[in-house]
Amino acid sequence: MVERTNRISEEMKREISSIVQSELKDPRLPKLVSILSVNVTKDLRYAKVYVSVMGNDEEKKNAISALKSAAGYIRREVGHRMQLRYTPEMHFELDTSIEHGAYITKLINDTISHENGKRL
């Protein structure tokens, strides 16, 4: 059963990414929106969709709002494409892990360059 939910989660991720990138025309959605992962519950009733948005806080808030508004359309399209008996209800959540990683990398690089500057 776990293998099946993982397969469905990955397929949903691909389909949602395709829909968001090519079909949604909401002006609140910036170009740099990525679907990072989808977690489907065991009973296939709900799916958490983790989204990364590059931009400021206002753009992120608007993007999540746009995705929540389009959730019904996205769910219907995913259902048609995947031919599931029941398409999970989607809940979109902002994932900041990429930004956090970039921030940590910047801190490390700044520290290294600062240390190298002292030795010279």
3-class DSSP assignment, residue 52: strand
- Return the CATH fold of 2-119: GMP Synthetase; Chain A, domain 3 (3.30.300)
User: What is the value of pTM for the model shown?
Assistant: 0.81
Strands lying side by side in the sheet with 46-53 = 33-40, 46-53, 89-94
The pair of three-digit structure tokens given for residue 66, joined into one six-digit string: 């746009």
Q: Where are the domains of the chain?
A: 2-119
CB 94 within 8 A of CB 35: no
pLDDT digits 0-9 by tens, 55-97: 888 999 999 999 999 999 999 999 999 988 889 999 999 988 8
